[in-house]
Structure 1
């Protein structure tokens, strides 16, 4: 996913949050009769305090989720840090393949230099703020040992969280064909992408905020200087 599309996704999410404030004091039936209609294949509107579903449209059908995938990657990283399996100051050495991907201007990225060392906290910020795909893969390798093993962890955690309509094939949310431009092998079929239902996306977002509320501290930052002079 390129940066422009990611920004539009975030803007759309914020618009939904703003729109939700108009319905904060009503119930589901009232929201439906208020004429709320979302121009999307699937949608769900949930009261963050009570969990009440105010509006839903095709909410149980698994659809492509693009960079919303990164919520699961964030969850697994924050969980690993909490459990002491990963340290924020832990360093990661960038491979030539990942560095090349980070310079693909068709994808949302922060440039990573070949053989350079980057701290986990910097890679995390690049992922959370700029939706940097190469940095996300680096995180997957740090937490899972490899992208395929991390994908296994993603699907396992989804089941543990009670999600029902989902399938993860990578850590980023890119279509596998985008990854194949830089890596010879992917999990699943060449044209597969990560899918979830709108209801499961809501559950994942809720659990992420409940279990790791500090995620908002980073995701609310509009821009930040990346280490070694790069921009994220």
Structure 2
């Protein structure tokens, strides 16, 4: 009698499975959260848009109109710098390689209305000189000469910039110049077929992605962005460069509470005052972006005041907690395994991860995005994603406004049992 009941249950289960596969299962699509605004009411910023993220994981800590596309001005130069560092990495450029500017670039580089080092016709400059001038003095001519050297023309370089941001998943970027000046302000190097008033535009979220990729792929960029002053030498003439990031030590907006070491300012009439900053805090790296801050004149510190306000909010309201690779999360230390030698497999974090835990007195908890997995499983195999909450508050990220995915790996192998064992288990249960 027991045997027949077992068979009957197995047959019913098999029929149900076949029906599900044949008819298809219907699941409700998850409701997409608004990733453009997150904790916006917690701190009032006098800017058009802003965002704060963890540089490594992309966890969003604050967002205000973060999806709104706005002019980015000289923050553009971070993309030019990324492609420069990438070209050096791939041995297409060398730091000591000398290059000469075109007449068009020289004209931009000597325009007193723009930030520049005065490049001269017929003079040679090293890639390192141009790189430093681009980041520290925000030199427009230097940025254009880097692009010219990498791609052969301004248009070709702009096309490379557009291609790069698409690889990062940035879809709405508008890019026309290598330096961030409006299209018509670069003279003969204007992008063809585009209005002279067109400006490079991205969202605060997009700029955070640019900064995140730059720091992750080329962390050495911080060795230059942290410099408050540097000399630019050109055949006996020296230009004293001063960083436009006034939050650096030795400059007017420095505050030891916020030991910023990058990244880049940007200013045009249309953009207002913009700033993408970064700072190490409690062993974690933070990236902030503020766009469209007040800009009365060249002495207005508004963008840095707003950045300090944003950083203060993050430092006060969050505590970064770092878990090492292989760390197990309470409540989800294993996963059920179908047809495995063992019924479950132990899980841990795929790689070292920092979670900014809201300082709300609530416990940080993790949940796995699946309950079972099919055997066989190899040690180290990614088997799912953890998602975190603090109380009822979801921990969200740039890539997922519904929750931040952190990869979970198997801490041990789990082989698959043979066909006969699977049939036996289906009929009689047990393992």
TM-score with structure 1 length normalisation? Answer: 0.82
Which of 109-118 and 159-168 deviates more?
159-168
CA distance in 2, matches of 1:61, 1:197: 5
2:30 corresponds to 1:47 = no
Give the conservation status (yes or no) of the 8 Å contact 2:177–2:190.
Answer: no
The residue number in structure 2 matching 1:186 is 191
Give the conservation status (yes or no) of the 8 Å contact 1:110–1:230.
Answer: no
Give the conservation status (yes or no) of the 8 Å contact 2:106–2:120.
Answer: yes
CA distance in 2, matches of 1:54, 1:44: 8
Residue aligned with 1:108, SS: coil
Residue aligned with 1:226, SS: strand
CA distance in 1, matches of 2:214, 2:75: 12
Residue aligned with 1:227, SS: strand
Rg larger for: 2
CA distance in 2, matches of 1:143, 1:49: 28
The residue number in structure 2 matching 1:93 is 100
Q: Offset of 1:184 from its aligned partner?
A: 6.4
In structure 2, do the counterparts of structure 1 residues 145 and 223 end up closer, same or farther at CA, with 3 Å as the change threshold?
Answer: same
The residue number in structure 2 matching 1:22 is none
CA distance in 2, matches of 1:184, 1:72: 18
The equivalent position to 1:170 in structure 2, one of 158, 167, 177, is 177
Which structure: greater helix fraction? 1
CA distance in 2, matches of 1:87, 1:114: 22
The residue number in structure 1 matching 2:316 is none
Q: Offset of 1:159 from its aligned partner?
A: 0.6
Residue aligned with 2:219, SS: coil
The equivalent position to 2:63 in structure 1, one of 42, 56, 68, is 56
Residue aligned with 1:230, SS: strand
Which structure: greater strand fraction? 2
The residue number in structure 2 matching 1:109 is 116
Q: Offset of 1:94 from its aligned partner?
A: 2.2
2:128 corresponds to 1:121 = yes
CA distance in 1, matches of 2:190, 2:87: 26
Structure 1: runs of 5 or more not aligned:
1-27
What do residues 187-229 of structure 1 show as CA deviations (whole Å, max 9, x unaligned)? 4221101011111110110000000000010111112111223
The equivalent position to 2:164 in structure 1, one of 157, 162, 184, is 157
TM-score with structure 2 length normalisation? Answer: 0.45
- Pairs aligned (count): 201
Residue aligned with 2:231, SS: coil
In structure 2, do the counterparts of structure 1 residues 129 and 166 end up closer, same or farther at CA, with 3 Å as the change threshold?
Answer: same
Please provide the CA RMSD for this pair: 1.7
Give the conservation status (yes or no) of the 8 Å contact 2:185–2:196.
Answer: no
